A and B are shown apart, each in its own frame.
Chain A
């Protein structure tokens, strides 16, 4: 994919101990393989198969995706605010490509 478009929605700030909701929407066709495109070619499987999220280096969430996950997949999950720092989002695509984004959470 030429560009990787991810929208991460979460609060910028939270109180220590507060549970924050993180919503992640990615633009991706999640081609499950076997479909026929407009030109009559069979489209090979190419999906994002995993999203891992770490929070200041600690794994806090992982989403294993198979072909039953929709195109432009959305997911929301929660994490407890513990310290100010970056959440690192890493997607793995079939074929081995990875995409990363970070979002900062300030803990007061």
Chain B
């Protein structure tokens, strides 16, 4: 258990961007949307509610969009508020994507709320979030 605790402390160290009080999810979202508040529509976020192993969590994100030159998803950003580095990943799409349909494998440090924010070509943003319980966190072991 001592080794586990040491591992966690070390894992948290490189996050020099992390202030004493970690920024709240709303603040993390506002940072990627330049202050805009995203609508909660047109986006589905599929992630297991209970994760046994935070080292590899399957996520699927689908945004309803015609993906035309005039109306498409520019990017999708994933935020895990309690990860040492909360900005997890960003997927950049184009009208040639055809669909805004992404799957990926991510790490979750601990039980937390995970949010996905999509930037639309219209200038708007949409988001979805989910509360995830992680029983084995991604920070404990060396993998």
Interface residues of A (CB under 8 A from B): 19, 21, 23, 29, 32-38, 42-43, 45, 55, 58-80, 82
Cα of A100 to Cα of B110 in the assembled complex, Å: 34
Asked whether, in the complex, the Cβ of A77 is within 8 Å of the Cβ of B57, the reply is no
Show 6 A/B contacts (Cβ-Cβ < 8 Å), sorted by A.
A60-B94, A69-B104, A72-B105, A75-B104, A76-B104, A77-B97
Asked whether, in the complex, the Cβ of A70 is within 8 Å of the Cβ of B14, the reply is no
A71 closest partner in B (C-beta): B143
Residues of A within 8 A of B88 (CB): 66, 68-69
Tally of A-B Cβ pairs under 8 angstroms: 119
Asked whether, in the complex, the Cβ of B14 is within 8 Å of the Cβ of A19, the reply is no
Known contacts A61-B94, A68-B85, A71-B55; A36/B10 CB under 8 A: yes
Interface residues of B (CB under 8 A from A): 6-7, 10-14, 55-57, 78, 80, 83-94, 96-99, 101-108, 142-143
Asked whether, in the complex, the Cβ of B106 is within 8 Å of the Cβ of A70, the reply is yes
Residues of B within 8 A of A78 (CB): 97-99, 101
B85 closest partner in A (C-beta): A67
Asked whether, in the complex, the Cβ of A69 is within 8 Å of the Cβ of B93, the reply is no
- Which residue, B6, B107, B108, has most C-beta atoms of chain A within 10 A? B107
Known contacts A70-B56, A71-B56; A19/B91 CB under 8 A: no
Asked whether, in the complex, the Cβ of B105 is within 8 Å of the Cβ of A73, the reply is yes
Asked whether, in the complex, the Cβ of B94 is within 8 Å of the Cβ of A63, the reply is no
Asked whether, in the complex, the Cβ of A61 is within 8 Å of the Cβ of B92, the reply is yes
Cα of A4 to Cα of B84 in the assembled complex, Å: 27
Cα of A33 to Cα of B107 in the assembled complex, Å: 14
Asked whether, in the complex, the Cβ of A74 is within 8 Å of the Cβ of B96, the reply is no
Cα of A59 to Cα of B97 in the assembled complex, Å: 10
- Which residue, A21, A67, A69, A74, has most C-beta atoms of chain B within 10 A? A67
Residues of A within 8 A of B93 (CB): 61, 77
Asked whether, in the complex, the Cβ of A66 is within 8 Å of the Cβ of B57, the reply is no
Asked whether, in the complex, the Cβ of A74 is within 8 Å of the Cβ of B89, the reply is no
Residues of B within 8 A of A23 (CB): 103
Residues of B within 8 A of A38 (CB): 142
Cα of A34 to Cα of B84 in the assembled complex, Å: 11
Task: Select which of B80, B87, B94, B104 is within 8 A of A73 by beta carbon.
Answer: B104
Asked whether, in the complex, the Cβ of A77 is within 8 Å of the Cβ of B80, the reply is no
Known contacts A19-B98, A74-B105, A78-B98; A69/B14 CB under 8 A: no
